[in-house]
């Protein structure tokens, strides 16, 4: 049975991805940092459905913690076949000149360096097997940029560049590296938006609605499946046609 490691897997998009893979009969390793209660509730729910799931607490920005996490996943389930780099944070919306150096560092530590830490930790086992799927979660703001989201947009753009370069590097080893760029998704991260804000946003979305976490999870599952074996280095927008 194959194994997936999902970072930031306790809430929102990560939770939906965990549920999708569990439904498909995959061993699910859920990483979390501070969302312990949500992670334990998700584990309980999935176990009741007969899934094979375990929780792994680690700050992805901490290289030592990431190495220990990957070792623990290997001890529990064996090699990691699919890595979903979902963990990410964002600053409150605001003009760039108001962003602090500490705020910028925090976003890049998680959204970029955390992703790199997790990827670097699983590459050796994937290279050894000559197979593996690495799926990175970016954002449409990483594709086109977002006003008052400069730091977040920059970090998510870095994820896209990382994906394209690593896909070329790991392709000869039979490893696929792809990226998903979600649009506005109905998660806690966007819970501060008013009904009017969402309605205004949807005027620019051809499908006329914001996305669901399940929309992203379905795209992740496709890229992790055998149906995507000849797809690598690609950025898949899950945004209702917005860009």
Any idea where the domains of the chain sit in the sequence?
Answer: 3-183+213-237
Q: Is 32 tagged catalytic?
A: no
* CB hemisphere CA count around 1 (13 angstroms): 16
Q: Which fold has domain 3-183+213-237?
A: Rossmann fold (3.40.50)
pLDDT at 199 over 90: no
Q: Which two tokens stand for residue 33?
A: 């940092």
Buried b (16+ CB within 10 A) or exposed e, 1-23: ebbbbbbbbbbbbbbbbbbbbbe
pLDDT band at 210 (very low <50, low <70, confident <90, very high): very high
pLDDT band at 23 (very low <50, low <70, confident <90, very high): very high
pLDDT per residue over 33-88, tens digit each? 999 999 999 999 999 999 999 999 999 999 999 999 999 999 999 999 999 999 99
**Mean pLDDT for the stretch of residues 110-138:** 98
Beta bridge partners of 133: 82, 176
Q: Contact 58/69 with Cβ under 8 angstroms? A: yes
pLDDT at 193 over 80: no
pLDDT at 196 over 90: no
Report pLDDT for 105.
98
pLDDT at 188 over 80: no
**Mean pLDDT for the stretch of residues 114-141:** 98
Report pLDDT for 191.
67
pLDDT per residue over 150-178, tens digit each? 999 999 999 999 999 999 999 999 999 99
pLDDT band at 118 (very low <50, low <70, confident <90, very high): very high
- pTM for this structure? 0.96
Q: In what order do the strands lie in the sheet with 175-182?
A: 53-57, 27-32, 3-6, 82-85, 132-137, 175-182, 235-238
At 189, give phi and psi (nearest 5°): -60, -30
Of all residues in the chain, the percent with pLDDT exceeding 70 is 99
Which of 21, 32, 141, 152 does the annotation list as catalytic? 152
pLDDT per residue over 122-133, tens digit each? 999 999 999 999
Count of CB atoms within 10 A of residue 40's CB? Answer: 14
The C-alpha torsion from 51 through 4 and 213 to 188, rounded to 10°, is 90
Instruction: Give me the chain's average pLDDT, please.
Output: 96
């Amino acid at each position: 049975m194959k194994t997936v490691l999902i970072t930031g897997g306790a809430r929102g998009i990560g939770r939906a991805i965990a549920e999708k893979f569990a439904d498909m009969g995959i061993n699910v390793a859920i990483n979390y940092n501070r969302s312990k209660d949500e992670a334990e509730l998700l584990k309980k729910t999935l176990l009741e459905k007969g899934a094979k799931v375990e929780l792994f607490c680690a700050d992805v920005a901490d290289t030592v913690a990431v190495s220990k996490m990957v070792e623990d996943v290997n001890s529990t389930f064996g090699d990691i076949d699919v890595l979903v780099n979902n963990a990410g944070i964002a600053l409150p919306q605001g003009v760039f000149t108001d962003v602090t150096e500490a705020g910028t560092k925090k976003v890049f530590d998680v959204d970029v360096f955390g992703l790199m830490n997790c990827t670097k930790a699983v590459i050796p086992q994937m290279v050894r097997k000559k197979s593996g799927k690495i799926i990175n979660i970016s954002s449409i703001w990483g594709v086109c940029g977002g006003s008052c989201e400069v730091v977040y947009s920059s970090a998510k753009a870095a994820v896209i560049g990382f994906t394209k370069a690593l896909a070329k590097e790991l392709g000869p080893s039979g490893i696929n590296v792809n990226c998903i760029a979600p649009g506005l998704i109905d998660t806690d991260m966007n819970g501060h938006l008013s009904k009017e804000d969402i309605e205004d946003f949807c005027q620019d979305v051809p499908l006329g609605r914001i996305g669901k976490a399940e929309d992203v999870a379905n795209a992740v599952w496709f890229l992790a499946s055998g149906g995507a074996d000849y797809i690598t280095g690609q950025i898949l927008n899950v945004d209702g046609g917005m860009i």
